[in-house]
Amino acid sequence: MSEFKTFSINIRGRLVEISRPWVMGILNVTPDSFYANSRTTGSEAIASRTRQLLDEGADIIDIGGYSSRPGADAVTPEEEYTRLKRGIEIVKETAPETIISIDTFRADIARKCILDDGADIINDISGGDLDPEMHTTVAQLHVPYVMMHMHGTPDTMQQLCDYPHGVTADVIAELGVKIDHLRSLGVCDIIVDPGFGFAKTIEQNYELLNNLEEFHLLELPLLVGISRKSMIYRLLGITPDRSLNGTTVLNTAALLHGAHILRVHDVAAAVEAVKITGALTRNYKY
């Protein structure tokens, strides 16, 4: 069991403490995300989903306009930005003080969403690999950056699961190189995501989770995104819509290993896991 370490991040000039685990609620403004019940496209549906996430206790809303599901249709930059802009606008109309994260690997889109539309955080599944301008853009924008680990693209990643020194050691080492580069550019607020389900086999995902405490060597907030993923439903022989219980089990394990942010479809269940784990470990108060 890992002791919870408090971090601070800068949200538009306001220093915000992560003094207990946060819950990031997923708002997919897409027609084809892997979990069908998370797809939200109409304006009222987006507003309703926003209210639900916040009522259940979300600390951040993460808006995605491009499905990273293998085999999903390609989305043009114009279409992705249109979806994200609309999502940001509706979230802000519904709850103006909400911390908004933008799930995109495209630097130009990230820049527009931050500067023109008022998003607060960039969440990049590729850690800068799919757009060479992303790290420079993050440095220029001075916003928190969620850097996820992945090899290849969503369509090729599951053929790129070779880790010569072991998945945990290699993922930490690869993230460490990128952290050094970001630091050299002046980026201060980095959040690390090991990338569960991205270029990892089921066995490697569980090895990573079991070794999650080793990521604290990076001395950065740690985000875990395992909600309803294949490491759960394929292992159990079920479907994503039946994977909430497994998600809660793994989220609890992540919390016991010191996770700082849980990225989830089901906020209420995650908040309960945070509260119960806090009472159990006495590592933090909710």
The list of the chain residues with pLDDT below 70 reads 32-39, 41, 69-72
Collapse the DSSP code of 185 into the 3-class scheme (helix H, G, I; strand E, B; otherwise coil) and give the result.
Answer: helix
Quick one: 21-281 is in which CATH superfamily? Answer: Dihydropteroate synthase-like (3.20.20.20)
Q: Where are the alpha helices (DSSP H) in the chain?
A: 43-55, 77-94, 107-115, 134-141, 167-185, 202-210, 230-236, 244-256, 267-281
Identify the CA nearest to 255 among candidates 16, 57, 1, 7.
Answer: 1
Cα(180)–Cα(182) distance, rounded to whole angstroms? Answer: 5
> Which residues pair with residue 103 across a beta bridge?
64, 123
Q: Are residues 24 and 61 in contact, defined by beta-carbon separation less than 8 angstroms?
A: yes
Cα(126)–Cα(104) distance, rounded to whole angstroms? Answer: 9
Q: Are residues 195 and 147 in contact, defined by beta-carbon separation less than 8 angstroms?
A: no
Model confidence pLDDT, tens digit, residues 8-17: 999 999 999 9
Backbone φ, ψ for residue 195 (5° rounding): 80, 50
Q: So what's the pLDDT on residue 200? A: 95
Residues 6+ away with beta carbon under 8 Å from 135: 128, 178, 181, 182, 185, 187
Q: So what's the pLDDT on residue 3? A: 84
Q: So what's the pLDDT on residue 72? A: 60
Q: So what's the pLDDT on residue 159? A: 84
Cα(80)–Cα(67) distance, rounded to whole angstroms? Answer: 10
Q: So what's the pLDDT on residue 157? A: 83
The pTM assigned to this predicted structure is: 0.94
Model confidence pLDDT, tens digit, residues 89-127: 999 999 999 999 999 999 999 999 999 999 999 999 999
Backbone φ, ψ for residue 52 (5° rounding): -60, -50
Catalytic residues: 229, 263
